[in-house]
Amino acid sequence: MYLELQKRLGSRLRSLLEEKYGLLVENIPLEIPPDLKFGELATPIAFELARKLRKAPRIIAQEIVSALNGLEGFAGFEVAGAGYINARLDRAAGVRLVVGGESLARASSGLHSLVEHTSINPNKAAHIGHLRNAILGDTFVRLLRAAGQKVDVQNYIDNTGVQVADVVVGFLHLEGLPEAEVRQLLEVLKGNGERIDYYCWDLYARTSQWYEQGTAEENEARKELRYATLHEIERGGNDTAEVAEMISTAVLRRHLETMQRLDIEYDFLPRESEILHLKFWESAFEQLKQTGVLYFESEGKNKGCWVMTRPGAEVAEGDLDEDSKVIVRSNGTVTYVGKDIAYHLWKFGLLGKDFGYQPFFTYPDHECWISTEQGVEPHPHFGGAQAIYNVIDARQSDPQANVIQALRGMGHVDQANRYTHFSYEMVALTPRCAVELGYDVSEEDLKRPYLEVSGRKGFGVKADDLIDKLIAATRAEVDARQTGRDEAERQKIAGQIAIGALRYFMLKFTRNSVIAFDFKDALSFEGETGPYIQYAVVRARNIFRKGETTPEAVLAEFAAIDPAAYLEGEAAEDIWSLWLRAARRTLVLEQCIATSEPAYLAKHAFQLAQEFNNFYHRHHILTEEDPKRKTFLLATAAVALRELVVALSWLGIESPEAM
RNA sequence: GCGCCCGUAGCUCAGCUGGAUAGAGCGACUGGCUACGAACCAGUAGGUCGGGAGUUCGAAUCUCUCCGGGCGCACCA
C-alpha cells in the first residue's frame, strides 16, 4: 500500500510542477517522516526549488499544497517547518487497501535472472563463511521470485582446481591409498555415517602443511607433485582424475545436504571439468580476439601472453601496458579469469555452446541437474539469462570487474550492465571464539578485532557443527516449554527455530560489514533475532486459536465495519503505526532488489514484530467488550500475522505453530 | 605505491537517493507474569557520528585531507 501511494503522490507532484512552474523533476524525494505527527509521507522538494524559483521554500510549499487537492487515498496536505510538505493519508481507505493485501502472486515481470551462489570448492566441509554466501544468495533468489522474476539458481563447482588437487595429493600420497582403496574408504565412511567432508577438512589442512614441512628439496618435489596432480585432473581420463571425481562428487553431495538443512536448493551445478572438456574457452577465445578485447603481447614482462586491458586503466596509444591482465599464459594455458569469461558468455547465452545435463540430486519438489559431457534427453536448459547475480565475497571484486570489462569490450553492453557482483564481506572469528574452539592463537592475533577463517589451515567453524549446536540449544528451550508435545514435534520446532536464528543472524548485517563470529551472538534467541520474530507469529496465532476464529474469517467480517472511528486520536496512533508498517511489504521488496541488500527486509521483519509485540502487550484483544472494536483489533493481528509470515518466508525462515 | 571497504552509545550494528529531536539489539540499573505464552513489555543511564577543512538553506550521509583497522592489486583459483 505504501509503495502505491508513494508512487501516486510522486507522479502527481511531477505533473503539478510541470504545469505550475514548467519544471521537469525526474526524482521527487519522498520520505517517511520520523514521527506520525508529520503525517505519513513527506517531501522536502520545496527546498530544492527555492533557488530555481527565487522564492522562499515555505511559499513554494504553500503553493504546491493549495494545488494538491483530492488525491485519492490522501486526507490532506500541509506545510510544516521551513517548507516541508507533509501528506496525511485517508486512514480508513489505507486500512482497506492493506486488508485487501497486495497480490502475492505478482504478475510476471518477464525478466529471466540467474543467481550463482555457494560455489564451495568440493574438497572440504562448508564453514560459516560459506553459510553467509548461501544464505544471502538463497534469500535474494526468494526476493527476485517474489517480485515475479524467473530465476535459475546455480552453484558453480570447481572440481578441477588446486584445492581439489591438494586433497587428492593427501589421499594418494599422504595416506598412500591407490584409487581402489580411496573408493573403499569412501564406502566405509559412508557406511559408518561419517561425514566425508569432515574427513577432507582435516586431510586438506594436513596436506597444506605438508607442502611446507620438509627440507627445501623435499618441498620443491612436493610442489611439483601438486602441479602434476592438478594437470592430470584437468586432462582427465586417468586414475588421478578418477579419484578427484569421486572425492569432489562425494563432498559436493555433503554440501547439498548441509544446505538443504537450511532450505537452500539449487537448479543446476555447472562444473569446471565440463567447461574445460567441452572447450568453452576455445569459442570464447575466438570472440575475444575478433572483438579486439584480447591482444598478443610481444614485449615486456607479459611477452608471449594474450592479455586484456584492466578496467579503468589509461594507456596512451602505442604505449606498452605492463599492468594488463594475462588471460592466456605464455605456455598456452588459460587463466581463471579467461575460463570465467567463457562461462559468463554462456550465462548470457552468447557462447554458442551448451553443457550436457544429467539429474544429480532430488529435492521434494524438483530435480537439481549437473553438467556432464554427454547429457541425457530430455533435459531442461539453463543459461541464456537476461540478468545475472554472482554472490561472491568482496575479495574477488577485481577478477569480477575483469569479466564485466571483457563483456563490455566485446560489445555486450546490456549484459555488462545487468551483471551484478553481489559482493559481501567475510565471516571471521573473534579471537575469543578461536580460543574457545581450542586453536592456538598468537599474542599478536589476540589483539586483532577478528581472525580470517582459512580452509587451508583448517581454521574455522564448520557449518554442520554450528547447525548441530544451534539445534541442541533450541531443543533444550523447546523441551522446557513444550512439555505436552512428543519427540518428533519438539525436534521439528527446534529445527525451525535453529534455522530461523541462523538465517536471521547472517542476514541482519549489511553485506559490506565483516561479521566477527561469536557463539554467544549466534546462539542468542532474544532481541533482534529470528526467534523473536517467530515468537510474534506464534503469539498472533494463539489469539486466533484461543478465540476460535481465523484471520480469514476476521478480515471478512472486518470488511463490513467502518474502521475510521478506531484510527483517530492519541490512543490509536500505535495501532495505526502497526498498520503502516504492515503496508510496507512491496516498498521494502523493491528497495532490497534495487540495492541487492536483503538486510533491509530482515530489519523490516524485526520492526514489524516489535510493533506487534507492543500492540499485543497494550491491547488485550479477546477480552475486548465492544464487538466491533474487538473485530478491529483481531483484524490488526491478522494483518500483522500475514505480513510477518510473508516476510519470514522471503527470508527463508519458517513460522512455527508453537515454540 | 595504486584500488576497494570500514571507523556512529560499554559491546555488536542500523541510519534509504543529503533533510525535521542521531536509532535498535545486547550489556548495566529499575519495574511488570491471577488477562491472548515473560524466547515478551515499559522505564533510566549512555554518543565531540575517528580528527580537520570544504560544498549546501541543511552533512553521520557528498568532496578533499589526515589518523586508525581490514582486504585486494600473479603467466594461483
pLDDT in tens, A479-521: 999 999 999 999 999 999 999 999 999 999 999 999 999 999 9
Through-space separation of residue A354 CA and nucleotide B49 C1' in angstroms: 53
Mean pLDDT of A328-353: 95
> In the predicted model, is pLDDT for residue A255 greater than 90?
yes
DSSP class of residue A449?
Answer: S
Residue A85 phi/psi, 5-degree rounding, is -110, 115
Whole-angstrom distance, CA of residue A238 vs CA of residue A229: 11
Give the pairing type, strands A367-372 and A268-269: parallel
Angle formed at CA A638 by CA A634 and CA A643, multiple of 5 degrees: 150
**Is pLDDT larger for residue A104 or for residue A243?**
A243
Thinking of the domain A2-89, which architecture would CATH place it in? Answer: 2-Layer Sandwich (3.30)
Q: Is the CB of residue A304 inside 7 Å of nucleic acid strand B? A: yes
pLDDT band (50, 70, 90) for residue A400: very high
Which amino acid belongs to residue A118? T
Longest dimension (CA), chain A: 89
**Is pLDDT larger for residue A444 or for residue A156?**
A156
Looking at residue A40, its pLDDT comes to 94
Spacing of C-alpha A260 from chain mean position = 16
pLDDT over 70, % of chain A: 99
Mean pLDDT of A243-265: 97
> In the predicted model, is pLDDT for residue A631 greater than 80?
yes
What sections of A381-507 are H helices per DSSP? 397-409, 413-417, 431-436, 443-446, 463-481, 487-507
Residue A164 phi/psi, 5-degree rounding, is -65, -40
pLDDT in tens, A281-323: 999 999 999 999 999 999 889 999 999 999 888 777 777 888 8
Residue A183: count of CB within 10 angstroms of its CB: 15
Whole-angstrom distance, CA of residue A446 vs CA of residue A486: 45
pLDDT band (50, 70, 90) for residue A108: low
For nucleotide B5, the protein residue with its alpha carbon nearest to C1' is A512
In A490-595, where do the E strands start and end?
Answer: 515-517
pLDDT band (50, 70, 90) for residue A106: low
Q: Is the CB of residue A549 inside 7 Å of nucleic acid strand B? A: no
How distant, in Å, are the alpha carbons of A94, A126, A352, A434, A435 from that of A445? 56, 24, 50, 10, 11
pLDDT in tens, A171-203: 999 999 999 999 999 999 999 999 999 999 999
- The residue with cell 478480515 is A555
Note the strand B nucleotides within 7 A of protein beta carbons.
4-6, 12-21, 23-27, 32, 35-42, 57-58, 69-77
For nucleotide B69, the protein residue with its alpha carbon nearest to C1' is A449
A14 contact partners, CB below 8 Å, separation of at least 6: A24, A25, A28
CA atoms within 13 A on the CB side of A45: 27
User: Under a CB-based contact definition with an 8 Å cutoff, are residues A424 and A511 in contact?
Assistant: yes
What sections of A121-213 are H helices per DSSP? 128-146, 162-169, 179-191, 196-213
Residue A648: count of CB within 10 angstroms of its CB: 25
Looking at residue A48, its pLDDT comes to 87
pLDDT in tens, A415-446: 999 999 999 999 999 998 999 899 988 888 88
Whole-angstrom distance, CA of residue A645 vs CA of residue A641: 6
Give the pairing type, strands A515-517 and A427-429: parallel
User: Under a CB-based contact definition with an 8 Å cutoff, are residues A342 and A352 in contact?
Assistant: no
In A34-177, where do the E strands start and end?
Answer: 41-43, 74-80, 84-89, 112-116, 150-154
A534 contact partners, CB below 8 Å, separation of at least 6: A496, A497, A500, A648, A653, A654, A655, A656, A659
Through-space separation of residue A425 CA and nucleotide B66 C1' in angstroms: 26
For nucleotide B72, the protein residue with its alpha carbon nearest to C1' is A395
> In the predicted model, is pLDDT for residue A102 greater than 90?
no
Through-space separation of residue A527 CA and nucleotide B46 C1' in angstroms: 19
Mean pLDDT computed over every residue of chain A: 93
User: Under a CB-based contact definition with an 8 Å cutoff, are residues A128 and A463 in contact?
Assistant: yes
Residue A404: count of CB within 10 angstroms of its CB: 21
- Torsion-angle region of residue A457: left (phi > 0), alpha (psi -120 to 50) or beta? alpha
> In the predicted model, is pLDDT for residue A132 greater than 60?
yes
Mean pLDDT of A49-54: 84
Residues 200-259 on chain A lying near strand B, CB distance under 7 A: none
Q: Is the CB of residue A103 inside 7 Å of nucleic acid strand B? A: no
Q: Is the CB of residue A620 inside 7 Å of nucleic acid strand B? A: yes
The DSSP bridge partners found for residue A429 are: A451, A517
A530-650, what's its fold? Isoleucyl-tRNA Synthetase; Domain 1 (1.10.730)
Whole-angstrom distance, CA of residue A650 vs CA of residue A600: 12
- The residue with cell 577478528 is A450
Q: Is the CB of residue A569 inside 7 Å of nucleic acid strand B? A: no
Looking at residue A103, its pLDDT comes to 60
- CA-CA-CA-CA torsion sign (A597, A598, A601, A603): negative
User: Under a CB-based contact definition with an 8 Å cutoff, are residues A341 and A409 in contact?
Assistant: no
Domain ranges of chain A: 2-89, 429-523, 530-650
Q: Is the CB of residue A81 inside 7 Å of nucleic acid strand B? A: yes
Closest by CA position to A76, among listed A49, A46, A30, A40: A40
For nucleotide B71, the protein residue with its alpha carbon nearest to C1' is A395
Task: Please write down the HEC assignment for all residues of A504-520.
Answer: HHHHCCCCCCCEEECHH
pLDDT in tens, A442-483: 888 888 889 999 989 999 999 999 999 999 999 999 999 999
